[in-house]
Amino acid sequence: MALSGIEIYKLLPKTNCKDCEFPTCLAFAMKLATKQVELSACPHVSEESQSLLAASSEPPIRLVSLKSDGYEVKAGNEVVLFRHEKTFYNMPGLFIRVTDEMTSEQIQKKLKPAEEYLVNYVGIDLAVDGYAIESTSNDPTKFKSAVESVRSVSKKPIVLICKDPKVIRAGLDVLEGESPLIYAADESNWEEMGEIAKNANAPLVVSSPNIDSIAEITEKLKDFGVLNLVLDPANRDLSTSLMQFTQIRRLAIKKDFRPLGYPVIAFPCHAPSPETESIQAAQAITKYAGFIVLETFSPEALYALLVLRQNIYTDPQKPIQVQPGIYEINDPKPEDPVLVTTNFSITYFSVANEVEGSGQPAWLLVSEAEGMSVLTAWAAGNFDAERIAKDVKRFEIADKVTNKQIVLPGHVSVLSGELEEELPDWDVRVGPREAVDLPAFLKQAL
Ligand code: SF4
């Protein structure tokens, strides 16, 4: 049961000691009531108050994680309806589906390229998160051998799909010590599936086209001792699934309705074409899936989904940053120039990619600018001659180069005079405004 800010305040020490980095206990209580801070930020809460507050400060959507040998996919723990209100925390896992009517060779042929797929986006490695195995045969032996075939290719987390408890048990036999996601409990089988999930310590999907019915089953399973649940509002068309996913999220976040306070799973794999599948998956990423099962593995479609996911799940208040430092591009020699940019990842990659593509060797000084792009950082006072000069010294760049030629981004040409004063024995040049013009500049102007 959620407590109001005043109710929370009454349980706090009321000393206004500021250790939580808020000026008063009341200010902290107000933030805690809207779940914008963690209770652990106040180290002085009594044990008794802690247990009362812990329940009310629990995230409205339970954290559920799938585990396998060395891998974990987490979903839930979300506290807002819209990303800009705070941030989304756990990005939805993307799983590629196979069935137990495929031969072992067919499974391996489909999954090997997916398993090998790894792409770097602004310094972050993106890949498939796991695999879903569906029993279309309803045969425990075939299901077990399909799970074995998947395990011969990958150790990543697994979703086991079948509503027959016998078949699920056969699949679980192969996955001892793991926490796969079991699909699914419904009105007819929830007790038996709940027993299996409890014994295997694995999360369980509750499936029904009716949200009221999902809420009833989750309550029964909770009383039965199964706490890690995932919801499947089993309507697959775009508009109904959008409406139901949004209803679930709203009820969980805005009304603190605990029976629906779990991550949701989406099945774009049932779409009639790969194009529709991508559209459904994109919708599920933005609103509000925790796990997504895909039929098609194609690098071009997957890349778009992974990048979309990355963008939705970054903290809007924290730009993606690159580590400040001196980077070598195209194996530079001491006589090559030093280019300067900021540590906003997109700025860094724009510059680094253009220079790399030009084939011209250069040193790239990535200056600490609180993750802002060149102009924004300059306007905010986070990218000036003094900082650049400090970074030149901090990263001992003078020891690496002989020509001491340093190139400022064209957008901050205004800094050139000050930088000459800061670095009197350097030749300060002004480069182009846009990264795309760097190759020509490197060829002609230096
Ligand atoms: S740390 Fe705790 S006691 Fe201190 S001001 Fe914050 S809420 Fe109050």
Domains of the chain plus CATH, in order, are: 5-57 (1.10.15.40), 64-312 (3.20.20.20), 325-444 (3.40.50.11600)
CA of 13 to the centre of ligand 1 (A): 7
- As a dihedral over the C-alpha atoms of residue 385, residue 386, residue 388, residue 393, rounded to 10 degrees, the angle is 140
Query: Which residue's CA is minimally distant from atom 7 of ligand 1?
Result: 25
pLDDT of residue 446: 65
From the alpha carbon of 21, which atom of ligand 1 is closest? 6
Q: Given ligand 1 and candidates 10, 11, 14, 15, which is best to mutate, with the most ligand atoms within 8 Å of its CB?
A: 15
For ligand 1, is residue 393 a contact (CB within 6 Å)?
A: no
Counting residues of the chain whose pLDDT is more than 90, the rounded percentage is 86
Band of pLDDT at residue 50, cut at 50, 70 and 90: confident
pLDDT in tens, 424-437: 999 999 999 999 99
Question: How much is the average pLDDT of 157-175?
Answer: 98
Q: What is the pLDDT of residues 190-243, one digit of tens each?
A: 999 999 999 999 999 999 999 999 999 999 999 999 999 999 999 999 999 999
CB 15 less than 6 A from any atom of ligand 1: yes
Would you say 170 and 140 are in contact if contact means Cβ atoms under 8 Å apart?
yes
Q: Whose CA is nearest to atom 8 of ligand 1?
A: 25
pLDDT at 1: 58
pTM: 0.79
Distance of CA 26 from the midpoint of ligand 1 (Å): 9
User: Is 22 near ligand 1, meaning CB less than 6 Å away?
Assistant: yes
Average pLDDT over residues 164-189: 97
Q: How far is the CA of 39 from the centre of ligand 1 (A)?
A: 10
Q: Are strands 71-75 and 64-68 parallel, antiparallel or unpaired?
A: antiparallel
In the predicted model, is pLDDT for residue 51 greater than 90?
no
Distance between CA atoms of 218 and 222, rounded to whole angstroms?
6
For residues 72-96, give the mean pLDDT.
94
Instruction: Say which residues have a Cβ less than 8 Å from residue 204's Cβ, sequence separation at least 6.
Output: 181, 182, 184, 185, 193, 194, 196, 197, 221, 226, 228, 229, 230
Most ligand 1 atoms within 8 A of CB, residue of 9, 22, 45 to mutate: 22
Ligand 1 binding pocket includes 40 (Cβ within 6 Å): no
pLDDT in tens, 293-307: 999 999 999 999 999
Q: Which atom of ligand 1 is nearest to the CA of 16?
A: 5
Give me the helices (H) in 58-161, please: 104-116, 140-153
Ligand 1: residue whose CA is nearest its atom 4? 17
The CA 24 to ligand 1 mean position distance, Å, reads: 7
* Residue closest by Cα to atom 6 of ligand 1: 20
Rounded to the nearest angstrom, the distance between the alpha carbon of 28 and the centre of ligand 1 is 7
- CB-neighbour burial class of residue 353 (10 A; exposed 0-12, middle 13-18, buried 19+): middle
